[in-house]
Amino acid sequence: MSESGLSSPAAVSTPSRLSLFLDRAGLQGFPWVSAIVLYTISWGWILIVRDSYWADDWFLFPRHASTFPIPWDSMGFAPWLKYQVPIFWITGPGFFHTLTFFSYFIIGILLFGIVNREKIIDSRNQTLFAHILLLTPLNTARIYLATTPYTIGFLLFCVAWHIMQDSDSKIRNLVSYLLFFLSFMFHSLLFFIFLPVYFSFRKCKIKKYSDVLAWLKQRFFLLLLPPFYVVMRSYFWPERIRYHDPSFDSFKRGLVSILAFSAVIVLMRNAKKRFISREKSLELISVAFVSLFLGALPFIVLGFFDNYVSFAQKNLIVFFGRSDLYSRHQNLLGLGIALLFLGLKDLVPKFRDSVFRKFPAFFLTILICFNLGFGFEHVVDYQKQTSIIEKLNDFDINESNLKFEFVDQSVLLNARGRIYRSNSDWQGLIWRAYGVDAWQSHTAYSTCQPIGQRSRLVLIQGPETHWQALKNWVRDRDMGFNVTVDDTPGACKPEMVTPEKVSGAIPILFYFTGVKN
């Protein structure tokens, strides 16, 4: 046999080692190529606007952070959260946005591995599950730098869960508990940690009381983490500025929600006993409900939803409408949505399989369209900001305490219907145009000021719809924003001012028509 015909031991062992690693990590069956391509198509717009700032992000500028520091400690946030600011000073916004882009892809991989290890989904649903995890248009507010703790906290949480799962190693468990604790910079995870607890418990074969005690002994420190964090927070970094605002009413809402949820789970268990042929699907739906409930519970407790009708209504608005920054409240819902979709899909009677065989591809196409639509909104909004800064650069400021009157007649083009804040967005644009001294010595307004005050009108006009902006960009490589700067006294007229808040919650497709209500 010639030398070329001999097989290298390394060449033989490498595939088996990779296969062994993927199997141990629960990643066998993950659709790497399609997941990377579709995820990049859906969320790649984050990299296009990677140097952008939105809403409270302006306070994270290096100079601004020292002039107007965000009181992390007084707001009850984890003390290690404040270290993101000096990191930001070194790296800038581009690094943080790129980190966000890759973090959510890694989160999707880790959640896939966790669920795959639990054998909750079968091999025929693995690809669809991975795609829904990555492509569901949740938390478009991930582009905001102020939500970076949500991203990093959730990533640490998933890493911790993946390390702890199926591990008998004391060192691995200790590392996972430490990562869980650090992930609590995102406070909603104090509730969500009961999902890995639930996953752990459902795997135990409880036959007698001693089995429960054995499980409690095994997961004692995991169960102790949330109350331990709350005690540490109460003594060492208490909330002095009412931000999360827990109260008796909030705990009452939480208790009612838990009781209602428990009733649903009991009904689901009874249904599984009656419909044995659909037991797998009903089990999947039960796990989905647990995940969705724990992901939404923090926002129910804190009163973001007044009642369950409000819960359904606001979630539809957050999913499809002008939700401003509130899509950040969806951050923990992806796993539950993916599991729920698979459970409901598998409930379809066999004779309808032919109809639904092509439905997943259609469904994923819809998800990608929404992601592209929401992404384009942010690209358009960022272009508006850039146009304003470039126009302001053409005009010097030779006096102090100049009043800037920003009149925006293109509010329909604001990403997700967001509002430009006077003390952050407009003020931040002044900073970008004139420097940090201008931030401190000049004031921004979103409307006209009384005649007689020295002011500078900044009038922003643009295309009527996102569709028109897209056509302008394709044709002219310019979206069509027109910014006028006028220092003439009284140039700002009240009739110029468009209400900042656009009423209604319009589905995304109507954004491109210019419909207001």
Q: Which residues contact 401 (CB under 8 A, 6 or more apart)?
A: 441, 442, 443, 454
CB 134 within 8 A of CB 42: yes
Tens of pLDDT along the chain (517 residues) come to 444 444 444 444 455 777 887 788 888 889 999 999 999 999 999 999 999 999 888 877 655 655 555 666 677 788 888 888 888 888 889 999 999 999 999 999 999 999 999 888 888 889 999 999 999 999 999 999 989 999 999 999 999 999 998 777 889 999 999 999 999 988 889 989 999 988 888 877 766 677 778 778 888 889 999 999 989 988 888 887 766 655 545 555 555 566 566 566 666 566 555 555 566 788 888 889 889 888 888 877 776 665 555 666 777 777 777 888 888 888 999 999 999 999 888 777 654 556 566 778 888 999 999 999 999 999 999 999 999 999 999 988 877 778 899 999 998 899 988 889 887 899 889 988 988 888 778 889 888 887 666 789 999 999 988 999 999 999 999 999 999 999 888 888 888 887 655 555 666 666 777 666 5
pLDDT for the residue numbered 252: 57
HEC sequence for 205-224: CCCCHHHHHHHHHHCHHHHH
Residues belonging to the chain: 517
Query: Which conformational region is residue 115 in: left (phi greater than 0), alpha (psi within -120 to 50 degrees), or beta?
Result: alpha
* Sequence-distant (≥ 6) Cβ neighbours of residue 28 within 8 angstroms: 19, 22, 116
**pLDDT score for 12:** 46
pLDDT number for residue 263: 60
Q: What is the pLDDT of residue 505?
A: 62
Interatomic CA distance for residues 510 and 220, integer angstroms: 51
